[in-house]
Each structure stands twice: as C-alpha cells, then as structure tokens.
C-alpha cells in the first residue's frame, strides 16, 4: 500500500506548481492528501488502514496535466493489479 502511495506522490510531484495539502479527516476517514494547481483541485488521496482511495479530476484543465505526469496510466495499472490480486 505504501509503495502505491509513494509512486502516486512521485508522479503527482512531477507537475510544476502542484501543491500538496495533508489533512487529518478524523479516525474514521484517516488522512487525506489534496493536490491543487492554480487553485483548482487535481486529485485527492484518502489513506486509511489497508485502503488507499485516489480521486482524479477529469476536467479539461486537469486531465492533460495528470496524463502527462503519468498519473492516469499509473492509476489504471494499479486498478488492474488490484483486480487480478483480488481474484487470487
């Protein structure tokens, strides 16, 4: 799980001007990493025990940035890997 988080952070960190905001959303929700660029939300990652949930913005400004940084491809690979792992 932590390897997925670090890879996601590395890829998002490749976007110039990106701001990462760390927020504790309470015991039930856990930690949330919010990524903004020029005041617009780009992504949000929720971290709780045994679970990592990432939400990527898909608007006309955000998607090309996430695609160029390799975030979209990485997310697809992570989803496929988790599905194949769940089937075992």
Q: How far is CA 39 from the centre of its chain?
A: 17
pLDDT at 45: 85
pLDDT at 16: 82
Which domains are assigned to the chain?
A: 2-79 (3.30.160)
Alpha-carbon span 41 to 60, nearest angstrom: 12
Of the candidates 48, 43, 50, the residue with the CA atom closest to the CA atom of residue 11 = 43
Is pLDDT above 80 for 75?
A: no
- pTM higher than the cut 0.75: no
In the chain, count of helices (H) and strands (E)?
Answer: 3, 4
* CB proximity list for 16: less than 8 A, separation 6 or greater: none
Q: How far is CA 69 from the centre of its chain?
A: 12
Q: How confident is the model at residue 86 (pLDDT cuts 50, 70, 90)?
A: low
pLDDT at 49: 76
Residue 50 phi, psi dihedral angles, 5° rounding: 75, 10
pLDDT at 82: 66
Q: How confident is the model at residue 59 (pLDDT cuts 50, 70, 90)?
A: confident
């Amino acid at each position: 799980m932590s390897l997925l988080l670090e890879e996601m952070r590395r890829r998002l960190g490749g976007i110039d001007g990106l701001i990462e905001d760390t927020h504790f959303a309470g015991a039930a929700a856990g930690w949330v990493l919010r990524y903004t660029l020029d005041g617009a939300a780009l992504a949000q990652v929720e971290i709780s025990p045994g679970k990592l949930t990432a939400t990527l913005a898909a608007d006309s400004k955000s998607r090309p940035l996430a695609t160029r940084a390799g975030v979209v491809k990485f997310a697809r690979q992570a989803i496929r890997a988790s599905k194949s792992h769940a089937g075992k």
